[in-house]
Amino acid sequence: MASHVGDYAPFEMRYGEMAQWRGNSLRHYSHRNVEDETRVSFDFRVIPGSQWEEPGPKSLFRLGSYYRDALAPESLR
């Protein structure tokens, strides 16, 4: 269930750590970057193929457009 109470808090992480969260269903934002360094964010959206449902024909979020089909390496299959 999405949170809409506005209880925003930053992720406090150390070098080498990752965070997993449901950013697609939670309101979120970031302060404007006023530093001389570039802020980097990686967005990985993963779903088991068995749960994939192809969106409608007018959606931009289709396999081959926004999403790509990725197979696990042979060693993990």
Q: Write the pLDDT tens digit of every residue in 21-43.
A: 777 777 777 788 899 998 887 77
- Whether 27 and 2 have beta carbons less than 8 Å apart is answered as yes
pLDDT of residue 1: 45
Dihedral pair phi/psi, residue 45, rounded to 5°:
-115, 120
Tokens (6 digits) for 54 = 């192809």
- pTM for this entry: 0.38
Residue ranges per structural domain of the chain: 46-71
Secondary structure (DSSP) of 1-48: ----S---------TT------TTTS--------SSS-----------
The per-residue pLDDT for range 59-72, each reduced to its tens digit, is 877 777 777 777 76
pLDDT at 2: 47
